[in-house]
Amino acid sequence: MAAKRPYGIKEYDAPAGGWGALRAVAKTLAQQQIVAQGSATLMKANQPDGFDCPGCAWPDPRHASSFEFCENGAKAITWESTAKRVGPEFFQLHSVSELWGWTDHQLEDQGRLTHPMIYDRETDRYQTIGWDEAFALIGQGLNALDSPHQAEFYTSGRASNEAAFLFQLLVRAYGTNNFPDCSNMCHEATSVGLPKSIGVGKGTVLLEDFDHCDAIFSFGHNPGTNHPRMMATLHDAARRGVPIIVFNPLKERALQKFASPQNPVEMATMSSTPIASAYHQVKAGGDLAALKGLMKAVFERDDESLAADGKGVLDRAFIAEHTLGLETLREDIDATSWETIVTASGLTQAALRSAADVYINAKKVIACYGMGITQHAHGTDNVQQLANFLLLRGNMGREGAGICPLRGHSNVQGDRTVGITEIPTDALLDGMQRAFGFRPPAEKGHNAVETIEAMMDGRSKALICLGGNLPVAMPDTETCFAAMRKLDLSVHIATKLNRSHLLTGKTTIVLPCFGRTDLDVQASGPQSVTVEDSMSMVHASRGFLNPPGEQLRSEPAIVVGMAKATLGDRYGIDWDGMLADYDRIRDKIEIVFPDFADYNRRVRVKGGFRLTVGASDRIWNTTTGKAMFLVARGVEEDARQTAGDALVLTTLRAHDQYNTTIYGMDDRYRGVFGRRDVIFMNAEDLAARGLAEGDRIDIQSLWTGDGRQRGVEGFTAIAYDIPKGTIAGYYPEMNAVIALGDHDVRSGTPAYKGVPVRVVGSAAA
């Protein structure tokens, strides 16, 4: 008989998607009290005349005519269009100290923010403040600093192109490049790594390519939860017989079997489609080794073929015409032994060879990847080795083949495209000069890690956040919280109350803004904004719901208010004109970034338009004009070998969460209900520590870079199908264990998915 499992832990055998997903949506609609209106809202998501779903950056089918059902998209939309409100009465009732004790779920679940608020230390409460007064305080605060470099300007990836562009204009006119943004925690390894490999920091495939590929390699992403609309694509591919090879330490349900809510037969018969044809449970941080193993197997097959007078398995014509560096890569791979690869990846030679054979036998291969690749101390190396792997057989820049990073927030890619970057290129500075007649500062600004460091040691005194929940999303919770409390000025432009707002400094202001679903009317009439998906498609988004209150403003309006109060008429920028009609913002974007030529016309075409991605057409905008095979250092240190009693902690999103937004306490596909205080562990790792499932455990960081001790206490151990040496827990709870200093040196991406730790029985009651 099976032992009794801990509270809330059950086997969940159903496929991902299916009826479970429909039931979950019905429940969410009811919880947010918007049954009638809410279902109509959902039908407008990702339709050509509707709004862009704030859920994820997966593209829409080019000719979306029918409603695409997506459980987590539905949650994101209902969470935003909720009927619940947090207004002045709420803040009269609850002090900030009291709210501090609430969970992240409780804070956001109060509903939409409706009034501009300022923290009053005497009463320990947020009080309403007028918009003009708030803007004046912000302007005074910024102008009181000794230097513009003492202020930080954070962007979370929901901001539209228009809001983000105005934000960077304000910041550059003010005089700094301090642009921490959520990409720094997310796909920065892609933005830094891919330009050196293939000349562009973006994915090369289009949605249509999935109809033509004949193998898909999936590394470190969990689409059933984080990009559910991608499941339709994978489902179709699997049904076409396309092998899908997965590398992931956890057996994610949707990558095993998926029932498409779009498929009447699967729904009626409660059947499902197997997704992965092979599932390789790589150790956390073992991808570099696995990728080197795959390439080693390809080279060995190539040698065998050549020895037998075959023509080899590499695409030699492509390599000769389009690439440089193969010999150096080959030397590195030859020098890496199978023994090292097997130990560091946790995968057998046979498994890696069989995956390589699938790769070799496929003419057109797409590789998809997510945070399992990027959020490591060697994230940039991982990305570049993945590009190498594709280049070996010319799987780049042709139909049905290419690289597909799964981006996070719905417009995180667009925000970067329109100028949110701490390292401005000459092209960007020239463009700004053309459009606005001034030359913005060129010196490198702060990324997210540098921002927290600067706040911590007092070099930065102000922080303006265009959305997000920076200190909760960042590693090293204790440091981040302390850094927030030292600020002279903090401003949060937000839709919902979150913990960042409770980390008050001298002057702390929360400004309520519209979300994607809200109708945005300015002087010239209703406005659309534009966004870029993870396949570089730019399209319009227009909300249609009445905003949650009279007081709320659009993000562009709030940025303009801050800009006018801070800059006056510096450089003669026509802020009011741009705000009155967003077409005028787009006219300026087009001047700065010529790739947006004819922006206002092209974005009005159904489905929008695609920005240039040179590598998609085999144009390599690298320094050599070729695609580059790049070498990464060895694999041993990267896999953070589990010497002694050390383990590697990886941090995950549950199914009922959107980053720091916790919709609910379930993680259905992993069999967790009503709790998040769990750590997934291999049964042998439990036994080796004298622990049993259900035991309370503490997690201690083994990172020694700064001599500080970090840890969390009183979590519950769950026996789980996960490689030995790897454990997993939820983000953001685990951020207290992760050191700010533990990040990819090349991109600054925190090593959220490769944290060296020790697990011990808990003394906590």
Ligand X SMILES: Nc1nc2c(c(=O)[nH]1)N[C@H]1C(S)=C(S)[C@@H](COP(=O)(O)OP(=O)(O)OC[C@H]3O[C@@H](n4cnc5c(=O)[nH]c(N)nc54)[C@H](O)[C@@H]3O)O[C@H]1N2
Backbone torsions φ then ψ of 678, nearest 5 degrees: -115, 155
Instruction: Provide the H-helix boundaries in 514-672.
Output: 555-567, 575-580, 582-592, 599-602
Under the binding rule (CB under 6 A), the answer on residue 527 touching ligand X is no
Residues binding ligand X: number (CB under 6 A): 60
Q: Which two tokens stand for residue 733?
A: 């709870």
| Contact by Cβ (8 Å): 273, 745 | no
Taking the least distance from each CB to ligand X, the nearer of 397 and 543 is: 543
Taking the least distance from each CB to Mo ion, the nearer of 185 and 207 is: 185
Considering only residues 111 through 140, tell me which ones interact with Mo ion, judged by CB under 5 A: none
Give dist(CA 293, CA 313) in Å, integer.
16
Residue in this structure with the two tokens 């540098």, named with its chain if needed? 450
Under the binding rule (CB under 6 A), the answer on residue 408 touching ligand X is yes
Contact with Mo ion (CB under 5 A): which of 25, 142, 186, 189? 186
Give dist(CA 496, CA 510) in Å, integer.
10
Taking the least distance from each CB to ligand X, the nearer of 118 and 494 is: 494
Residue 31 has a CB neighbour count (10 Å cut-off) of 16
* Furthest-apart CA atoms within the chain: distance in Å: 84
Cβ at position 351, least distance to ligand X in Å: 14
Contact with ligand X (CB under 6 A): which of 204, 260, 384, 469? 469
| Contact by Cβ (8 Å): 505, 480 | no
**Contact string 475-504 vs ligand X (x = CB under 6 A):** ------------------xxxx-x------
Residues binding Mo ion: number (CB under 5 A): 2
* Stretch touching Mo ion by CB under 5 A, among 53-61, 65-73, 181-189, 709-717: 181-189
CA–CA distances in Å: residue 53 to residues 481, 540, 583: 31, 11, 22
Residue in this structure with the two tokens 């002087």, named with its chain if needed? 523
Q: Give the residue among 352, 383, 354, 356 at the shortest CA–CA distance from 368.
A: 383
**Contact string 379-418 vs Mo ion (x = CB under 5 A):** -----------------------------x----------
Taking the least distance from each CB to ligand X, the nearer of 650 and 716 is: 650
Cβ at position 483, least distance to ligand X in Å: 15
Under the binding rule (CB under 6 A), the answer on residue 562 touching ligand X is no
Under the binding rule (CB under 6 A), the answer on residue 370 touching ligand X is yes
Q: Which two tokens stand for residue 389?
A: 């792997």
Give dist(CA 556, CA 45) in Å, integer.
22
Under the binding rule (CB under 5 A), the answer on residue 223 touching Mo ion is no
Q: Which two tokens stand for residue 114?
A: 């409706």
**Contact string 443-462 vs ligand X (x = CB under 6 A):** --------------------
Under the binding rule (CB under 6 A), the answer on residue 190 touching ligand X is no
Considering only residues 233 through 272, tell me which ones interact with ligand X, judged by CB under 6 A: 247-250, 252
Under the binding rule (CB under 5 A), the answer on residue 470 touching Mo ion is no
Binding partner of residue 513 among ligand X, Mo ion, none, CB under 5 to 8 Å per kind? Answer: ligand X
Give dist(CA 108, CA 127) in Å, integer.
18
Element (H, E) at 465: strand 462-466
Cα dihedral angle (84, 88, 93, 95), rounded to 10 degrees?
110
CA–CA distances in Å: residue 251 to residues 20, 220, 247: 18, 11, 9
Q: Which two tokens stand for residue 109?
A: 């679940």
Contact with ligand X (CB under 6 A): which of 171, 329, 435, 466? 466
Binding partner of residue 495 among ligand X, Mo ion, none, CB under 5 to 8 Å per kind? Answer: ligand X
Cβ at position 58, least distance to Mo ion in Å: 13
Binding partner of residue 467 among Mo ion, ligand X, none, CB under 5 to 8 Å per kind? Answer: ligand X
Q: What is the DSSP letter of 58?
A: P
Residues that bind ligand X (CB under 6 A): 55-56, 72, 108, 156, 158, 182, 185-186, 219-222, 225-226, 247-250, 252, 282, 284-285, 287, 370-372, 375, 406, 408-409, 466-470, 473, 493-496, 498, 513, 515, 555, 650-653, 657-661, 731-732, 734-735, 752-753
